[in-house]
Structure 1
Amino acid sequence: MSQKHRRTQLTAQDFQFLRHSSHVAEMHEDHGFDDDNFYHEVECFDNDMDLFSNSEYPDDDASVASFASTSDGSLPPTPDGGAAKPPKAPELKKDAAASISGLNLRVKAKKFLSKNSRAVSGAVTSNGRRSVHVKQQHHAGLIWHAQAVCDDYFDLKNCTQEGQLKQRRPVPIIRASQFFADLEYTGGKWIHRAPLNGWPGLTDLEVVSITGKVKSMANFRIRRYWNNDTDQGKRPAFPENVRSCRVTLAAPKYTLDGWSADSPGHVWWFHPSDETFFHGKNIIDNFRSLEAKEGVVEATVVSHFAHRYAKAKEGVKDRIVYHSAILVEWSHGKHCTVFELAFLNGVGGWGGRSNWQEDSTSAHPKLLKNFPAHMIAPWNSTLAELRIQDVPFKNWDEFSVYLSQHEGPKGKKDHRFFDVTKIGSAPVTLACRTQPSIATYLNNYIRHNREYHEESRNCQTFAADFYRLLTGDTHVKPFHPICQILYHHHEDWFLYDPPEGDKK
């Protein structure tokens, strides 16, 4: 039976497959890296059976070079050919059909939601929002994990031929003698000041705990060797009779809400024309300053689009991996701007490459040169950031030419996109649509919910929310039928300040 006419049942097991794949491409908003390069779950837990396995992470030298911000210029694999676009899905009621990439999937929505509610429910904080970072509530800021290894440790996965540890690994790795010697005791905390494993964004980290795997009669168990709650005043040390251990670290408190203490908000805006870069609240301040000097600039037209990622060989899973973004045209008519949501630190943690910049294949992209050092850190696939980049096109027609030039099967050409689809376009009807206002909306949005979920909080849900806000079109939904099932629109997040408890 041909794939085109095959009918199947979407089960809970299928959901896990879709959950793993439908938005995995957003490790980086515009790179379709192979699966082994995607998952860097910074939030690990003490019951992990294999604390230090790097099988999920890139091991090749090119990938290591990318983390070291010296990209070899390669871009993600591309598909061999086209695939059917997912049609505009009907309302997915109790029993609805949705055709996805040629596969006719019958979705029992009620069962789908109930069986997988745990995947998206999370814990609820005092302000009523979900939080997957339950363990972070006790500590100051974002939680990171590093691997401390003995001085004679050698593994080509993490070491050069000369035996030096590779820099900027997705799970930071450091010699135990160096790490523990660098600790300083201040304010009742043990702090590691220097950049961890060459990551400039991992500084001033508080040691929370030290754990390791020890062999038991049947298997391995996790042993906690040091904890800042019970061992206060006692200097952390490398455990005896082990070759490696996991060090749990907490970043400063402000990292929960931004990259710097004076500019909250995990959102950044890059202006390649004059090579200026702003993040968080500083974006708003910059536009207010420009407005005072050059006059008011307003959003005029918004376009909603989606695409798959160029791959050398496209499988079934690749046909449901769509990235959605928003293009906004401005009253000054000088350029447009692309807006999108994706993994936290996905650009700074991957060599500063972006498909919206022409030079993304160069060894040192312009975007990376303008990235602040404190924003260069491993990516986190459980948290989100908003990425905004000006592009040198005056309208959608000019921008679509750029998309067409980079669309097609992966080969010798610089193909980046596949199956580009314009979902909608309309005049911006929002009353307050100046650049400072737009920047304020975006900062509010990301601070209301900083999480990233592949199935319910991703690039497609943001694009739908933003398009609804700018146009007033209440019928807009995420592009893919799978995302539509769990979608709850949140234009309100743009319009209101974040809860008082989250303000810095």
Structure 2
Amino acid sequence: MSKQKHRRTELTAQDFQFLRHSSHVAEMHEDHGFDDDNFYHEVECFDNDMDLFSNSEYPDDDASVASFASTSDGSLPPTPDGGAAKPPKAPELKKDAAASISGLNLRVKAKKFLSKNSRAVSGAVTGSGRRSVHVKQQHHAGLVWHAQAVCDDYFDLKNCTQEGQLKQRRPVPIIRASQFFADLEYTGGKWIHRAPLNGWPGLTDLEVVSITGKVKSMANFRIRRYWNNDTDQGKRPAFPENVRSCRVTLAAPKHTLDGWSADSPGHVWWFHPSDETFFHGKNIIDNFRSLEAKEGVVEATVVSHFAHRYAKAKEGVKDRIVYHSAILVEWSHGKHCTVFELAFLNGVGGWGGRSNWQEDSTSAHPKLLKNFPAHMIAPWNSTLAELRIQDVPFKNWDEFSVYLSQHEGPKGKKDHRFFDVTKIGSAPVTLACRTQPSIATYLNNYIRHNREYHEESRNCQTFAADFYRLLTGDTHVKPFHPICQILYHHHEDWFLYDPPEGDKK
């Protein structure tokens, strides 16, 4: 009995990653309407990847990302897999494990374990007390991506069309080895892949960091490093001999740690559907300052804090406790309102421009996607966050609530998107500096102070609570759900101060 108890409370780095990733996949599963096959397939892919590549040199693999195939002309298709057959279900053992992850009992136990052993877990995963995602990312130039390089005769219906062509924009980019290694360019002591990787416009100018593979060793398997930029500088990377596939680790340019482009830091974007204008990062602030000079000052007047569950045809146990929180702000011009939310990095650009706040989100080519810059269309990363701001054509909460009620109900024939919409609070904006340029500055500061996403401690609910506290001065506001309240620490200060240079979290 004591031995069993000891085994329960000791999680390895791989166990921790699998638990956390499964929770992230489950949330996106609800957000974007994955079917069960895709959910278990995503969890299986990550588990297999951890089994294949986990060792001391890979303390924290990037979470598996969701995507969809593109058409032959490079445009974005209407469905996640481009109409191809669904991937096969994971083995029953993996499916049972994934199902238990999404159950309330294990999720609560996992959260308790993580909250009580956060320092120990971080040390187990990273070898130190710091967050693993940043230790790994800052070791190289920018955000780290992984791709699968396959031999030229590779064929698998999960990743290939019936004609044998690789599907574009896969969750983990997949590439033919002959094409990838032929396209490498040596510059500045680095081997760079310039062209979009696996059709992702946002994955360009990537530095090759390492090439690894799994090889059989006696009765077990081990990771073999075929090439590394630290030890093999000047030597051209090549596809290993006598293998069917290998993993290529790549690093994006340094600015990707702090934004989508070098001249506009900050993982925050703002979309104006009325005139179809789109800005991200610091450019949002510059745009509002220009508008203010031309059209006068616009101030935030009323803020509403609300939450909802995602519409499902049939809700499970986990579905009843997962809520998304957001903020609605009304403006002095009285023309429209704006929705503010925090979510996964590249969650909209990597999923076809779909957003619950846009009427045309179910169309093949949503208006939002048409305005997305190419460098923002990349696989999503569930360990990092972005702030999404979208204007909506409603003057106040009453009009906006009509829209919510029209899309509330079980998922089915109608375009239902929400369950159990709850207005948590509403109040006048009492913050002294509440103009649009000021609001944009606060948001850019906030995301640059901490770019991480954690389901248990930094998510949509914690941001909504922080933003509402800032705008109203109400110090009693907390995240909507009790589970998110356990590890909540308010951070209004992140809005008000520039992030310290050289130490941005």
If the TM-score is normalised by the length of the shorter chain, which range does it land in? 0.7 to 0.9
Q: Is the 8 A contact 1:441 1:494 kept in 2?
A: yes
How many angstroms does 1:311 deviate by?
A: 1.0
Counterparts in 2 of 1:146-295, with a 5 A limit? 146-295=147-296
Counterparts in 2 of 1:276-355, with a 5 A limit? 276-355=277-356
How many angstroms does 1:68 deviate by?
A: 3.8
Q: Determine the C-alpha separation between the residues in 1 that align with 2:63 and 2:113.
A: 40
How many angstroms does 1:273 deviate by?
A: 0.3
How many angstroms does 1:62 deviate by?
A: 21
Q: Tell me, what secondary structure is at the counterpart of 1:39?
A: helix
Q: Determine the C-alpha separation between the residues in 1 that align with 2:96 and 2:62.
A: 48
The C-alpha deviation readout for 1:17-70, integer Å capped at 9, x for no partner, is: 996677656549953434665799999999955449999999999999962467
The C-alpha deviation readout for 1:394-452, integer Å capped at 9, x for no partner, is: 00010000000000011110001111111111111000000000000000000000000
Q: Which residue is equivalent to 1:420? A: 421
How many angstroms does 1:115 deviate by?
A: 3.6
294 and 91 in structure 1: CA distance in 2 versus 1, 3 angstrom threshold: farther
Unaligned 5+ runs, structure 2: none
How many angstroms does 1:109 deviate by?
A: 12
Q: Determine the C-alpha separation between the residues in 2 that align with 1:278 and 1:100.
A: 38
Q: Is the 8 A contact 2:149 2:176 kept in 1?
A: yes
Q: Determine the C-alpha separation between the residues in 1 that align with 2:92 and 2:479.
A: 12
Q: Is the 8 A contact 2:269 2:284 kept in 1?
A: yes
How many angstroms does 1:133 deviate by?
A: 2.8
Greater fraction of residues in helix: 2
The C-alpha deviation readout for 1:95-146, integer Å capped at 9, x for no partner, is: 9999999999998999656544258857999999845232222210000000
Q: Determine the C-alpha separation between the residues in 2 that align with 1:146 and 1:86.
A: 19
40 and 499 in structure 1: CA distance in 2 versus 1, 3 angstrom threshold: farther
- Structure 1 runs (4+) deviating above 2 angstroms are 2-116, 118-133
How many angstroms does 1:321 deviate by?
A: 1.2
Give the TM-score taking structure 2 as reference length: 0.83
Q: Determine the C-alpha separation between the residues in 2 that align with 1:474 and 1:222.
A: 51
Q: Is the 8 A contact 1:149 1:173 kept in 2?
A: yes
Q: Is the 8 A contact 2:347 2:381 kept in 1?
A: yes
Q: Which residue is equivalent to 2:468? A: 467
Unaligned 5+ runs, structure 1: none
Q: Determine the C-alpha separation between the residues in 2 that align with 1:312 and 1:39.
A: 18
52 and 161 in structure 1: CA distance in 2 versus 1, 3 angstrom threshold: farther
Moved more, 294-303 or 68-77: 68-77
How many angstroms does 1:313 deviate by?
A: 1.5
* Paired-residue identity, %: 99
Q: Determine the C-alpha separation between the residues in 2 that align with 1:149 and 1:31.
A: 29
The C-alpha deviation readout for 1:154-203, integer Å capped at 9, x for no partner, is: 00000000000000001000000000000010000000000000000000
Moved more, 11-20 or 91-100: 91-100
Q: Is the 8 A contact 1:6 1:103 kept in 2?
A: no
418 and 189 in structure 1: CA distance in 2 versus 1, 3 angstrom threshold: same
Q: Is the 8 A contact 2:215 2:221 kept in 1?
A: yes
406 and 57 in structure 1: CA distance in 2 versus 1, 3 angstrom threshold: farther
Higher relative contact order (CA 8 A, sep 6+): 1
Q: Is the 8 A contact 1:340 1:386 kept in 2?
A: yes
Q: Is the 8 A contact 1:83 1:102 kept in 2?
A: no
7 and 88 in structure 1: CA distance in 2 versus 1, 3 angstrom threshold: farther
Q: Determine the C-alpha separation between the residues in 1 that align with 2:376 and 2:225.
A: 31
Q: Is the 8 A contact 1:25 1:31 kept in 2?
A: no
Q: Determine the C-alpha separation between the residues in 1 that align with 2:53 and 2:103.
A: 40
Give the TM-score taking structure 1 as reference length: 0.83
Q: Determine the C-alpha separation between the residues in 1 that align with 2:56 and 2:74.
A: 23
How many angstroms does 1:6 deviate by?
A: 27
Q: Determine the C-alpha separation between the residues in 2 that align with 1:390 and 1:65.
A: 26
Moved more, 90-99 or 26-35: 90-99
Q: Determine the C-alpha separation between the residues in 1 that align with 2:504 and 2:189.
A: 25
Q: Is the 8 A contact 2:21 2:63 kept in 1?
A: no
Q: Which residue is equivalent to 1:388? A: 389
How many angstroms does 1:320 deviate by?
A: 1.2
Q: Is the 8 A contact 2:430 2:473 kept in 1?
A: yes
Q: Tell me, what secondary structure is at the counterpart of 2:445?
A: helix
Q: Is the 8 A contact 1:23 1:323 kept in 2?
A: no
Q: Determine the C-alpha separation between the residues in 2 that align with 1:17 and 1:150.
A: 28
Q: Determine the C-alpha separation between the residues in 1 that align with 2:180 and 2:81.
A: 47
